[in-house]
Amino acid sequence: MIGYGAVGTNNFEAALDFYDAWFASVGVNRLWRQGHMAAWARTRAEPAFCLATPFNALPARVGNGAMIALKMTDRQAVDTLHARCLELGGLDGARPGLRGDHGFYGGYFRHLDGNKLNAYVPA
């Protein structure tokens, strides 16, 4: 049902560099870039993660309570994305690990503009 999720940025070129390097660490490449919007996914058939400068030309802001969760194939991919985010200047939100007692494994982080992201493997 989800087609794509998008986060805003105030420094598009720096954010492109961040996301290209970050997603490449788990084998995901940029699908496309048009103007000040870009998308990453494994294939065009799956939901994409998008980055954009706000269309209304106002500054991008972090949504309080908003988060995009990225489903990974295994725990190693979660660990890799979390570590790579920190290497690229992102912030730790919560180190990867098991959450609750139902087998959900996830790590939380914030990218350069402060948007909250999660990489996870479902139970």
Q: Measured between alpha carbons, how far is 25 from 49 in angstroms, rounded to an integer? A: 15
CA distances from 61 to 9, 112, 113 (A): 8, 12, 8
76-92 tens-digit pLDDT? 999 999 999 999 999 99
Q: How does pLDDT run across 24-75, given as a tens digit for each residue?
A: 999 999 999 999 999 999 999 999 999 999 999 999 999 888 999 999 999 9
pLDDT at 63 (0 to 100): 87
Which residues lie across from 43 on neighbouring strands? none
pTM of the predicted structure, to 2 decimals = 0.89
So where are the chain's domains?
4-54+68-121
Separation of alpha carbons 68 and 117, rounded Å: 5
Q: Hey, which CATH number is domain 4-54+68-121, 3.40.50.150, 3.30.1330.30, 3.30.2350.10, 3.10.180.10?
A: 3.10.180.10
Write the Ramachandran bin of 89: left for phi over 0, alpha for psi from -120 to 50, otherwise beta. left
